[in-house]
Structure 1
Amino acid sequence: MESELLGILEQLERDKGINKEILIQAVESAVASAAKKIWTIGKEEEIKVVLNRKTGKLTAFAGEQEIRSSEFGRIAAQTAKQVVVQKIREAEKDVIFAEYQARIGQIISGSVYRFEKGSIIVDLGKTEAYIPRSEQSKREEFRQGDRVRAYILDVRRENKGPQVILSRGNPNFIRRLFELEVPEIYEGIVEVKAISRDVGERTKIAVYSKDDKVDCVGACVGMRGARVKNIVSEIQGEKIDIVRYSSDIKEYIQAALSPAEISQIQVNHQDKKANIIVADDQLSLAIGRHGQNVRLASELVGWELDIFSAAQWQEKLKEVEAEEGQSGQEEEKKVPEEKAAKDQREPSLVDLSGVGDKVLEALQEAGFDSLEKVAKADVEHLTQVKGLGKIKAAKLIKEAKKLLKE
């Protein structure tokens, strides 16, 4: 019986992936828990149970005294079984949580099990996962039993067990699909720089080749479009635009707005804004249906993009010129107004020519804090102010008298 217990624990480790040491500790805890309920011992005494790792023998101690196994009764065995089962369940949950936690960011396959409040419940074999409505594509429809691939978005630990959250709407789902279909991406020769996605409608993906001999766009498209067709098939017809990344922002923007033809691009690097001018017949193509093309292009390059037709751009230039002209007139008008305001106020020391901040401070410290006092002063007294000679002192006195007369 004792050796059988070790055999059962070893088999559980193989079948369930649960560490045997965790199971042994669960058994020891279970037996100790059962013993506390049926043995009459002092309340201060601690029950300790030890399982021999070689023989499988269970030995119980109450304090320092060994308790013989014959004292185990039906209640003890039943309680021990319940606790062991509970511990095994908890350990299984931990194993599942750790396994899927390590796989966050990967694609996983399962079968559609059922539908619940808009979510798709997916059977992964060891556990169930779900795809929330917000992570689904409106283009896609699944039936019970259908095989489905999805991106592991998150794993949460909850009372009822690990909750694995999947997504088919996340942009990284597209990234992983390209890694699976395009060996050059998986090997790191071609790099995915950015992805923008309108789920169920269109995706733009920017790619860059680290090897000049490898065409990044051609590698993603594949022979006769085979690679990209497989991905489009997986996402049930959602359109994919493969954009060639460029460090030149104008070239990058032009590629991102494809298939529209761009006439002119004006960029503001500081604010990351760009004005795009297109021919009148290219305007609707550049903007896209409900603004989809320009919105996805803006997300892809990380810049704010404004689209103008040639006629709209000319109109905008005229408005800017008119505003600048009006602004210039206002400035010209402001100059005489400021001069009039200056003329209306009482003259002060700051109106004296050649008087800077230091001389003004020195005059005030010496007691000459008004024009009247400077005008009444004589040259000898004024030259005592630091920084003033006889010629400058005489000049200030003369100018102060003149300002007071005006």
Structure 2
Amino acid sequence: MSLDLPRIIDTIHREKGIPKDLLIDAIQTAILNAARKFFNDSEGLSITIDPQTLKIDATRGGERVDPAVFGRIAAQTAKQIMIQKFREAERDTLFEEFESQKGDLLTGTVQRFEGGAVLVNLGKTDAILPRPEQIPGEALHPGDRIRAVVHEVKKQGQRVKIILSRTHPDFVRKLFELEIPEIADNTIQIRALAREAGYRTKVAVASVDPKVDAVGACVGVRGSRIKTITDELGGERIDIVRWNDSLQVLIPNALAPAEIDEVMLCGLLGRAIVLVRDDQLSLAIGRRGQNVRLASKLVGWDIEIMTAEELDEVIDRAIQMFTQIEGVDAELAQNLVEQGILSYDDLSVMEIDDLVATIEGLDHERAIRIVEAAEELAEQQSEESPRRKGGRGSTSGRNAVSQVQAHSSSVVSAVAVETGSVASDATDDEAAPQQASVDATAMERESVASETSPSQENELEVSEANEEDHDSVRFNDDPPPAPVATTGADAAAAVAADAPSTLPQSAPESGGEVRDMNQP
């Protein structure tokens, strides 16, 4: 038995990748259990295996015992225990290996389909690509070579379950690192990324070396580099935009190619009101709200788009509503509006300490009474009108219906993508943001809510025509993708009465009028 042990251990070590010390421990445990079963007694039993010579030393009561005398039944017991131990050791080894590769890009071969999931062979083991992790609309066939990132690794009995993903934002990030050398060597950094798999992705990049154009390097000569990535993504449109540390520039860049007149930041609520002209509304919002939704995720702020006229109306209504609360005069109402609080819902979710610290002359007890009154009024409005149409161009798009929040709900805010955000327009004008767009789909008419008037529909058609003429890199003329459902955080920010929630503080460097709402 000892003569075959080195060969057995070496073979299993090479084929399964299990460390030799784990194999020796497993064999030692198996022989010890076999000896206990044979002698029906565990006292005085000792089994050791020399790690160098792999010689088995068995003793009982101080006397040496030949393992060969344990018998056939004991040998079968030892074999079963060894098989179990080997499987556990193999599982642990696989788990540690793939757990360390979480988020990495792997290449595998499609084996077969199980329900909606795809079984992918990775060489050492098989992994699962569930239907939700597959790019919408892609067609996979047995034998296809595909790339995916390791999304989740977990132990399941004596096996390891490896879940892959092609919809995770890290999949696009890893493809950029693979196809663009400047990103791989960290000359260019991906500072933020927002994705709706199968439809559109926004990637914010910044260059460490001022001599290297981040956007141009990612696009490549005539779009050669970015086209390789879009082909892997099945024609998904990618917007490459330039990173900027100023939110005044980030938000307009993220909404490119729309022209932004003014950006007003509401720090207490984490929102930004973006003012645009009527002919830029549909362009800023995007088809089914996709452009503003991805921009919101990219910059990490909830974005609401409206015209200057609409903002003036919202402010007037907000002041009227606040003065109806006991203890709120016109001056206090004006101060609340200047901080971007434009509805009962906004006021009901405010922290008392933040209000007292921000609003001059407001004490703690008075702030509590005002917030409690706002909560009651917000509840009344929610009961009277549970579904209200939101402001034009809220985070989830012009067609989303705003849902009035209960007093205990938190403010709906855009989910930031890890580090922050940005956008850019790929033009030769240095003052304008640069953007390189890879459009995998033909332009289609934006859906308009039932309240949209014929004149607004004409306005949308003109805006979409402008978007079509925008200078960008586009590939593929495949039919447009199916509409993207808008739910949860993608829905427009909740509003109370007629007033959307948000308000301003400053304007973009690249062109709009600067309006300071804190000035009288």
Aligned counterparts of 1:317 and 1:70: Cα–Cα separation in 2? 92
Q: Rate the CA distance shift 1:126–1:325 in 2: closer, same or farther, 3 A.
A: closer
For residues 116-195 of structure 1, the aligned pairs below 5 Å read 116-195=114-193
Structure 2 portions without partners, runs of 5+: 331-520
- Preserved contact between residue 47 and residue 63 of structure 1 (Cα < 8 Å): yes
Instruction: Report whether the alignment pairs 1:263 with 2:278.
Output: no
Q: Which moved more, 1:8-17 or 1:123-132?
A: 8-17
1:108 matched residue in structure 2:
106
Q: Which has the higher helix share?
A: 1
Question: Greater RCO between the two (CA within 8 Å, min separation 6)?
Answer: 2
Aligned residue identity for 1:95: T
Rounded Cα–Cα distance in structure 2 between residues aligned with 1:226 and 1:323? 56
Instruction: For residue 212 of structure 2, give the secondary structure of its aligned residue in structure 1.
Output: coil
Partner of 1:292: 290
Indicate the larger mover: 218-227 or 117-126: 117-126
Q: Name the structure with the higher strand share.
A: 1
Counterpart Cα distance in 1 of 2:76 and 2:319: 91
Letter in 1 for 2:27: V
2:280 is matched with 282
Aligned residues of 1:253 and 1:297 also touching (Cα < 8 A): yes
- Among 74, 94, 106, which residue is 2:92 paired with? 94
**More deviation, 166-175/56-65:** 56-65
Deviations 1:99-148 (A, max 9, x none): 10111110111111222232222111211111222222212221122111
How far did 1:55 drift? 4.1
Over the aligned positions, Cα root-mean-square deviation in angstroms equals: 2.3
1:315 deviates by: 4.2
**Whole-angstrom distance in 2 between the partners of 1:188 and 1:197:** 22
Once the two structures are superposed, what CA deviation does each residue of 1:32-78 show, in whole Å capped at 9, x if it has no partner? 211222225xx461432122344443232223222234523222222
CA distance, structure 1, for counterparts of residue 50 and residue 281 of structure 2: 80
- 1:317, distance to aligned residue in structure 2 (A): 5.6
Say which SS state the counterpart of residue 211 (structure 1) adopts.
coil
Tell me: CA distance 1:79–1:320, structure 2 relative to 1, closer, same or farther (3 Å). Answer: closer
Change (3 A) 1:204 1:73: same
8 Å Cα contact 1:2/1:55 also seen in 2: no
Distance of 1:149 and 1:37 partners within structure 2: 50
One-letter amino acid matched to 1:132: P
Q: Given that residues 114 and 120 in structure 1 are in contact (C-alpha distance below 8 angstroms), is that contact kept between their aligned partners in structure 2?
A: yes
3-state secondary structure, aligned to 1:29:
helix
What's the counterpart of residue 11 of structure 1? 11
Q: Partner residue of 2:23?
A: 23
Distance in 2 (alpha carbons) for counterparts of 1:69 and 1:44: 15
How far, CA to CA, are the matches of 2:103 and 2:38 in structure 1? 51
In structure 2, give the amino acid aligned to 1:19.
P
- In the alignment, the residues of structure 2 paired with residue 163 and residue 259 of structure 1 have an alpha-carbon distance, to the nearest angstrom, of 43
TM-score norm. by structure 1 comes to 0.75
TM-aligned CA deviation for residue 294 of structure 1:
0.6
Deviates more, 1:115-124 or 1:311-320: 311-320
Which amino acid letter does the alignment assign opposite residue 34 of structure 2?
Answer: A
State the distance in 2 between where 1:105 and 1:54 align: 39
Shift of 1:322: 6.6
Does the aligned pair in 2 maintain the 1:114–1:121 contact within 8 Å?
yes
Asked if the contact 2:109/2:143 (under 8 Å) is kept, the reply is yes
Which of 50, 54, 69 lines up with 1:52 in the alignment?
50
CA-to-partner distance for each residue in 1:340-375, whole Å, 9 max, x for gaps?
Answer: xxxxxxxxxxxxxxxxxxxxxxxxxxxxxxxxxxxx
Q: What is residue 211 of structure 2 aligned with on the other side?
A: 213
Query: Equivalents in 1 of 2:115, 2:185: separation in Å?
Result: 40
In structure 1, stretches of 5+ residues that fail to align are 333-406
- One-letter amino acid matched to 1:118: G
Pick which of 52-61 and 214-223 moved more. Answer: 52-61
Cα deviation digits, residues 157-198 of structure 1 (max 9, x gap): 120411111111111111111111111111112111111111
Q: Distance in 2 between matches of 1:172 and 1:101?
A: 16
Equivalent residues of 2:88, 2:158 under 8 A apart: no
Question: Could you say what secondary structure the match of 2:57 adopts?
Answer: strand
Task: Name 2:63's counterpart in structure 1.
Answer: 65
Paired residue secondary structure (1:299): helix
Counterpart in the other structure of 1:367: none
Q: Say if 1:153 and 1:167, in contact at 8 Å, map to a contact too.
A: yes
Summarize the Cα distance change of 1:31–1:278 in structure 2 as closer, same or farther, 3 Å threshold. Answer: same
Aligned AA (1:280): D
Q: Calculate the TM-score normalised by the size of structure 2.
A: 0.59
User: CA shift at 1:222, angstroms?
Assistant: 1.2
Contact 1:36 1:47 in 2 (8 A): yes
The aligned residue for residue 232 of structure 1 is 230
Q: Tell me by how many angstroms 1:17 deviates.
A: 1.7
Question: What is the CA deviation profile of residues 281-340 of structure 1, one whole-angstrom value per residue up to 9, with x for unaligned ones?
Answer: 11111111111111110110011111113553454466567779999xx959xxxxxxxx
Aligned to 1:37: 37
CA distance in 2, matches of 1:272, 1:105: 30
Which secondary structure state, in structure 1, belongs to the residue aligned with residue 4 of structure 2? Answer: helix
Task: Please say if residues 98 and 153 of structure 2, whose CA atoms lie closer than 8 Å, have aligned partners that are also in contact.
Answer: yes
Contact 1:280 1:311 in 2 (8 A): no
| Counterpart Cα distance in 1 of 2:32 and 2:313 | 87
**Would the alpha carbon gap of residues 310 and 24 (structure 1) be closer, same or farther in structure 2, given more than 3 Å must change?**
same
Distance 2:271 2:293 in 1: 13
Is the radius of gyration larger for structure 1 or structure 2? 1
CA distance change for structure 1 residues 39 and 307 in 2, over 3 Å: closer, same or farther?
A: same
What is the count of residue pairs matched by the alignment? 328
2:298 is aligned with what amino acid? L
Matches within 5 A, 1:358-369: none
Using the alignment, how far apart are the partners of 2:27 and 2:92 within structure 1?
A: 17
Match of 2:78 in 1: 80
Contact 1:196 1:205 in 2 (8 A): yes
Task: Write the distance in 2 (CA, Å) between the matches of 1:252 and 1:179.
Answer: 23
